[in-house]
Amino acid sequence: MLEYGTKIVAGVTPGKGGTKLQDVPVYDTVATAKDETNADSSVIFVPAPYAKEAAMEAMDAALNPVVIITEGIPARDEMVIMRYAREHSTVIVGPNTPGVITPGQSKLGIMPGNVFRPGSVGLASRSGTLTYEIAASLTHAGIGQSTCLGIGGDPIVGLSFVDVLKMFREDSGTESLILIGEIGGTAEEDAAKYIADTRYPKPVVAYVAGKAAPPGKRMGHAGAIITGSEGTADNKIRSLVAAGVRVAEIPSGIPELLVRKVQTVR
Amino acid sequence: MKLFEFEAKNLASNLGIATPRGAVASSAEEARDIHKRLGGAVVVKAQVLVAGRGKAGGIKFALKPEETFDRAKEMLGSFIKGENVRKVLIEQKLPVKKELYISIAEDRMNKCQTVLASRQGGIDIEEVARTHPEEIARRHMDPVYGIRGYEARDLALNLGYGGQQLNMISDLLTNLYRLSVIYDCELVESNPLVETQDGRFLAADLRMIIDDNSLFRHPEFQERSKEPGAELTPLEAKARENNLAFVELDGDIGIIGNGAGLVMATIDLVKYYGGQPANFCDVGGGAAADRVASALGIIQSSDKVRTVLVNILAGITRCDEVAKGILDVKKVVGLKKPLVVRMVGTNEEEGRRLLETAAIKPLIHMEDAARLAAKGA
């Protein structure tokens, strides 16, 4: 993050207060870090058993947004985090996310910065490495990105696709969008409904992973489980297509679809 | 992690939730003895984790202990929806007045636990939701305050109960919610929840699914979660022991990748190019050589696997570590199947150099790798 130009003003590790890591001062508590450095946002890497309190501590110190990289947090803890976030009007990204990057400006997260290029395509994804894969194919095709973020691979996450669509709608630097979904839950169906209901003004293309996943099996991400008919890739793709979203059959099909979609809209 | 019905019922009765009298048996003789002790009519229930066992012949009634012996003998060792039956639960048959439905489930959209209660139980709840949505009451639980007495009473009213029974249902709901909280459940479901002819309520069936991410605070389930045969195939159990996210599939192309989304996309791509994936295997972020080695070792040990595809897009993972993992397997047991490697990202040069010493030439694009693997490499 430092290498990418993000101004990391403080680290927090209980018991390590007063030390420095790569010239960044380390504090024992988030409150002291905030008081002394005026930090405004937080990235959480702490292990799953302690992540709930770490998120609450960041919110109590009025840091916003709070990006939670940690994977494997119990769903019940995530529910408490999201409830706390509502009370504090805090934006939570994740958990189980690679974070947020605005190429060429800053990143809050762990994505490899070199696969991204500045541009006008917004990208939101439920998966980490698949985000890098698709960002790399965009960059390779000469298509830059405005902001890319992972909304998180867990069943309970903060920002949803719909929230992100709203934010990109208002962002003058974003001309078109890519959604990268996967099996499980209804995030893609909800996004499709929002796009259709609001006649979303910017072109959207999508890819959904997990077409070949057998029902009832959990594919790594806690979020990626199909239960019954709801949550299948087919259902998600159908909803998106019905809302006018072009859905790529394979990840490398996205750049071409995007170019075509932007041209037709114009 | 799914619990067997008898496990869920044991935990529930410890919290004061009424369940039918009964016991679990591993042999037909035991089943017969349990029936003798219980007396009356019983129900013989196959202990499997798949849903819908009733229609698949996994629930049978028996009037006499000899009948129970026969039913248990038929069920034990048989397969229900592909799952081997190793235990049967023998329970007293209830004098049923009405069958209800109650569940407490993880609600992604509302970011809380949601209670569903229906006067129509004992049948497929999704069917009820389609045909009689008004028959299902739902209530979102506050993750901090939990279920409040008046919420439980409101749900009891929705189920159509008053007087003493209103309090009985509300206590039951409160206890089921406690069960869900104490054991970090993704799902607690009683279908049917039975009202007996004398007006009592019992959880005639009970399903519990524990949130796998919470297992670190439930040492009581940790060993159980690694047992093969329960939900896991032997290969999956082996992978679980090595802390790999692994799901066995039907095909012959082994798949290893980093990141669940990327691995799912790889599986989709292999199918797109006409191949049949043998598994899902995610080594996760920042995997060191030993993780890659154990993944490759487990996958190539399977007889049905003919080709292995490794797809790594390294961010916090390092290509040289991945390469070392592959080379370790080659050195120790040898590479037993044709290997297709796609590997890009952090420390790519070093990773490539290492693999090329073993005459493996990693590809750049995952489409190319998937196409090659689909053709049998």
B364 touches chain A (CB under 8 A): no
pLDDT of residue A230: 67
pLDDT of residue B228: 55
Region A217-236 average pLDDT: 65
Q: Give CATH superfamily name and number for B21-93.
A: ATP-grasp fold, A domain (3.30.1490.20)
Residues A46 and A66 in one domain: yes
**CA separation (Å) from A104 to A111, A113, A177, A235, B164?**
13, 9, 18, 36, 67
The answer to whether A155 contacts B144, with C-beta atoms less than 8 Å apart, is no
Band (A239; pLDDT cuts 50, 70, 90): very high
CATH (domain of A28): 3.40.50.720
Give the pLDDT confidence of A130-148 residue by residue, as tens digits: 999 999 999 999 999 999 9
Q: Does the residue A27 lie in any domain?
A: yes
The answer to whether B260 contacts A252, with C-beta atoms less than 8 Å apart, is no
Query: For all residues of chain A together, what is the average pLDDT?
Result: 92
Which structural domain range is residue A134 located in?
A: 99-265
Q: Does the residue A20 lie in any domain?
A: yes
Residues A154 and A218 in one domain: yes
CATH (domain of A231): 3.40.50.261
Give the pLDDT confidence of B140-194 residue by residue, as tens digits: 999 999 999 999 999 999 999 999 999 999 999 999 999 999 999 999 999 999 9
Band (A218; pLDDT cuts 50, 70, 90): low
Domain end point (choices A93, A127, A149): A93
Query: Please, are residues A149 and A127 in contact by the beta-carbon 8 Å criterion?
Result: no
* Chain A positions in Cβ-Cβ contact with residue B144 (cut-off 8 Å): 80, 83
B362 touches chain A (CB under 8 A): no
% residues pLDDT > 90 (chain A): 83
The answer to whether A156 contacts B108, with C-beta atoms less than 8 Å apart, is yes
List the single residue in A with minimal CA-CA distance to B316.
A110
Task: For residue B89, list its beta bridge partners.
Answer: B24, B45
**Per-residue pLDDT in tens (0 to 9) along chain B, 377 residues:** 899 999 999 999 999 999 999 999 999 999 999 999 999 999 999 999 888 898 899 999 999 999 999 999 999 999 998 889 999 999 999 999 999 999 999 988 899 999 999 999 987 787 888 888 888 999 999 999 999 999 999 999 999 999 999 999 999 999 999 999 999 999 999 999 999 999 999 999 999 999 989 999 999 898 887 765 556 788 988 998 888 989 999 999 999 999 999 999 999 999 999 999 999 999 988 888 999 999 999 999 999 999 999 999 988 899 999 999 999 999 999 999 999 999 998 899 999 999 999 999 999 999 999 999 999 76
> Looking at per-residue confidence, does A152 or B284 come out higher?
A152
Tokens of A35: 């008081």
CB atoms within 10 A of CB B55: 10
Q: Best residue in B2, B213, B343 to probe A by mutation, most A CBs within 10 Å?
A: B213
List the single residue in A with minimal CA-CA distance to B140.
A79
The answer to whether B259 contacts A130, with C-beta atoms less than 8 Å apart, is yes
- Give me the total of CB pairs closer than 8 Å, taking one residue from chain A and one from chain B: 160
Domain end point (choices A44, A67, A93): A93
Q: Does the residue A3 lie in any domain?
A: no
**CA separation (Å) from B183 to A139, B141, B209, B222?**
46, 16, 9, 12
In chain B, where are the structural domains located? 1-19+95-230, 21-93, 232-374
Q: Give CATH superfamily name and number for B1-19+95-230.
A: ATP-grasp fold, B domain (3.30.470.20)
Residues A210 and A82 in one domain: no
- Dump strand ranges (E) for B148-242: 185-196, 201-203, 207-210
Residues A103 and A220 in one domain: yes
Residues A118 and A199 in one domain: yes
> What value, to the nearest 5°, has the Cα angle with vertex B305 and ends B352 and B246?
80
Region A191-214 average pLDDT: 94
Domain end point (choices A60, A93, A126): A93
Band (A216; pLDDT cuts 50, 70, 90): low
Tell me how far apart the alpha carbons of residues B103 and B176 are, in angstroms, rounded to a whole number: 9
- Given a cut of 50, whether residue A226 has pLDDT beyond it is no
**Distance, in angstroms, between A210 CA and closest chain B CA?**
5
Residues A179 and A109 in one domain: yes
Nearest to A185 among B108, B144, B277 (CB): B108
The answer to whether A128 contacts B259, with C-beta atoms less than 8 Å apart, is yes
Q: What's the number of domains chain A is made of?
A: 2
Residues A63 and A182 in one domain: no
> Going by CATH, does the domain composed of B232-374 fall within 3.40.50.261?
yes
Cα-flanking dihedrals φ and ψ of residue B344, to 5°? -140, 165
Residues A88 and A112 in one domain: no
Residues A191 and A78 in one domain: no
The answer to whether A133 contacts B265, with C-beta atoms less than 8 Å apart, is yes
Q: Does the residue A1 lie in any domain?
A: no
* Chain B positions in Cβ-Cβ contact with residue A127 (cut-off 8 Å): 259-262, 264
Of B258, B355, B267, the closest CA to residue B311 belongs to: B258
Give the pLDDT confidence of A56-104 residue by residue, as tens digits: 999 999 999 999 999 999 999 999 999 999 999 999 999 999 999 999 9
- Given a cut of 90, whether residue A21 has pLDDT beyond it is yes
* Chain A positions in Cβ-Cβ contact with residue B265 (cut-off 8 Å): 130, 133, 207, 209, 250-251
Q: Does the residue A5 lie in any domain?
A: no
Q: Does the residue A242 lie in any domain?
A: yes
Tell me how far apart the alpha carbons of residues A36 and A137 are, in angstroms, rounded to a whole number: 42
